[in-house]
Structure 1
Amino acid sequence: MQNHKFKIYIFLTFLLFFTTACSVSFKSGETGNDGGVYASANQGKLWKQMALIPTVTGSAKSIASLDNYSLAMDPSDDEAIYFGSLDNGLFYSYDRAKEWRVAEGLERKTVTAVAVDPDAKCIIYAAMENKIYKSTDCNRAWEQAYFDNNVETKIYSIAIDYYDSRNVYIATSRGEVIKSPDRGTSWQTVGRFDDEVKKIVISPNDSRVLFVGTDKKSVWRSLDGGVNWVSLEENLKTFKDSKKFRDLAMSQAEPGVIFLATDYGLLKSSDQGNTWSQIELITPEKKAVINSIAVSPKNAKEIYYVTNTTFYSSENG
């Protein structure tokens, strides 16, 4: 199995942890060999694996052996969760991960990104290789919404403007941010960064404020919906190896608060990226490759991160 990545996602009252099908530790000395999805309703103290796939014959199937690549939750319905797998297509659950079903109509390939329209829950976008697929009927049928002429291009991230969900952004391995103003009917490039763009994040406090993480050329910020971009590399220069991006999360509870994971370690900004400070980690910075960060929507001091093998949480920022 590949040691690919782990993801965490918080939605108000519960925490989801998506893993690859290899060993991960939740507490010191405790490890497991199952992948898939784990859920916690008590801030990560106790976990339960959620991997069942029901069948017409009643035989037990599971996503526990699948490697995760992407995940998304319906912003308007915390029962609806989407699991993008490595080489096995898209799976979804409409009962908070109790049971999973495969999204028919999509190829069984790697789903590199998935997103749900915040205003129309049956509109889902899924990225596979150099294409974006769109469903308007809750996974029953899919159509191609975007195609990149370069077959080597990968789409790594999808972000939807919660203020105006017609605006859809995608990030590519070619170093572009591409925007659709009409839910995927037409597209235009709004940013070029000369490096792979790994993630797009829309500020939960102002949807005109965008951040993109590039593979090795730091983080960029736009304050006007992608019209203009500014590199934050100079603001991060005191932190060695901070140009190598791992993940970024923003606080909904405290506007302007950002958490950034890099090869340096975990950093925090309270002013939308103008200045940064180091967050002390339990593990030494160079020994902790952080794959994912999450911050509570209710409390900016409640943060979570995962390394290749271990889940960590903090209640004091």
Structure 2
Amino acid sequence: MKTKILRVLVVLPVLAIFAAGCSITTTGTPGNATSDASIYLSTDSGATWRIMTNVPSLDARPQNITDVNVNLMSVDPEDSMAVYLATFDQGLYYTYNITNGWNHVTSLPSATINDVKVDPKNKCIIYAATANKLYRSSDCSRTWTEAYYDNNANVAVTSIVIDHYNSRNVYISTSRGDIIKSISSGTAWRTIQRLDEGINQLIISPLDSRKIFVATTKNNIYSFFSNTDTNANNSDDLEQNFLVSDWTDLNAVLRDYDLGSNFKDIIINPKDGVMYLATAKLILRSPDNGITWENIKLLPPEKDAVINALAINPQDSSDLYYVTNTAFFHSKDGGATWQTKNLPTKRAGRELILDFNHPNNVYLGTVKLK
């Protein structure tokens, strides 16, 4: 499940990127079999696309990750050129420079990666969730250790968030409904809240790391405050370290909208705090941390929307993008009007990332349609 406050990415100058990759240019026309790929880059807000799937090779034979199915992408908050690619059934990939291609993390299982996050204070500390486990690397993905293990093999670790004020504070959620916190960078854990439904995503506010939002498998949304000034070495502060306060049910007002049953994403804009909630059938906007919501008008009727991913320009919260199985949508006026193009591939759009320095640069991740 996607777990992101705001997924953003900085890319290198266009000529450098394009010179390094297996690339094609399209103008929104459907891709043929030879142009289908897992990752595309657009430098003009989705008008044209290029494939960026190269993998470094020790021999002369070109290699790529064209056929992987993208679950999500996550960017190092301190180094925007460091991008982590979580796949379905094929493990984790990363790049420190897109011109050099993608690297496979062979020390992790080649399985579905549910989430991946980088410590905002230390780029070499990375957390990755797969199945009922959380792995941690402290040496830039060279080696990994098991940081959390759930004794129920049917329970998945679904989401990871890290406190950007005090990165010793790490939170994970589970498909069973647990919110679990570590105040020691993942060495020890305590359950701080339990729900009667699975959790899809945790979202930490980019404006106040004490504020955390919870999105569940039943499309319920909650928020709470968590202590950030934690000290694992002071037992007198133990209860304070794990305190949950101001637990708020945001669903009373959301019941005015037919959210459906397929949650997709919550994104909070770091500039103005405007929050967007996307399900498969609609997009809502809140200017006040979820107290009130506005339904953004989409081009297709709700029953035909099939939203897979949402992205917001971090410099302008009225600049919106979303993607479906077959189409790419862009609004420059907060959803009052939309531009739409068909995807450059027969694969389904799955993930969108915007470059926070150059918002016209858009990354698209795809999956093969069944």
User: Which residue of structure 1 lines up, in the alignment, with residue 250 of structure 2?
Assistant: 232
Tell which has more relative contact order, 1 or 2 (C-alpha 8 A, sep 6+).
2
Aligned to 1:10: 8
Unpaired runs of 5+ residues, structure 1, are 15-25
Measure the CA separation in 2 of the matches of 1:285 and 1:220.
Answer: 24
- The 1:132–1:224 alpha-carbon spacing in structure 2 relative to 1, beyond 3 Å, is closer
Distance in 2, matches of 1:175 and 1:222, equals 15
1:288/1:32 Cα in 2 relative to 1: closer, same or farther (>3 Å)? farther
Aligned match of 1:293: 310
After superposition, give the CA deviation of every residue in 1:180-239 in whole Å (9 maximum; x if it has no partner).
111101111122221111111111111111111101141111134571322211011111
1:253 maps onto 2:251 in alignment: no
Structure 2 partner of 1:71: 73
Question: Map of 1:108-147 to 2, 5 A cutoff?
Answer: 108-147=110-149
Deviation at 1:284, TM superposition (A): 1.5
> Measured at CA, do residues 43 and 98 of structure 1 come closer, stay the same or move farther in structure 2, by a change above 3 Å?
farther
Equivalents in 1 of 2:109, 2:280: separation in Å?
34
The structural deviation recorded for 1:241 is 3.1
Letter in 1 for 2:42: S
Of 72-81 and 306-315, more deviation after overlay is shown by 306-315
Q: CA deviation at 1:262?
A: 2.1
Counterparts of 1:70-219 in structure 2, within 5 Å, are 70-96=72-98, 98-219=100-221
Moved more, 141-150 or 303-312: 303-312
CA drift of 1:153 comes to: 0.7
1:97 and 1:169 map into 2 onto residues whose CA distance is: 33
Deviation at residue 28 of structure 1 after TM alignment: 5.6
1:38 aligned to 37, 40, 44, which one?
Answer: 40
After superposition, the C-alpha distances for 1:218-267 in whole angstroms (9 at most, x for unaligned) are 11111345713222110111112356422111111112x11111244111
8 Å CA contact retained: 2:10, 2:81? no
Letter aligned with residue 41 of structure 1: T
For the structure 1 residues 235 and 208, does the alpha-carbon distance in structure 2 shift closer, same or farther, using more than 3 Å as the test?
same
Using the TM superposition, give the Cα deviation of residue 32 of structure 1 relative to its aligned residue in structure 2, in angstroms.
5.3
Higher helix share: 2
Which has more radius of gyration?
2
Aligned pairs, how many?
A: 301
The percent of aligned pairs where both chains have the same amino acid is: 39
State how far apart, in whole Å, the 2-side matches of 1:125 and 1:62 are. 25
In the alignment, what sits opposite 1:49?
Answer: 51
Aligned residues of 1:80 and 1:92 also touching (Cα < 8 A): yes
Distance 2:299 2:178 in 1: 35
Matched with 2:284 is 267
Report if aligned partners of 2:27, 2:49 keep a CA contact under 8 Å in 1. Answer: no
Higher strand share: 1
Structure 2 unaligned residues grouped into runs of 5+: 13-25, 228-242, 335-370
Distance 1:192 1:184, change over 3 A: same
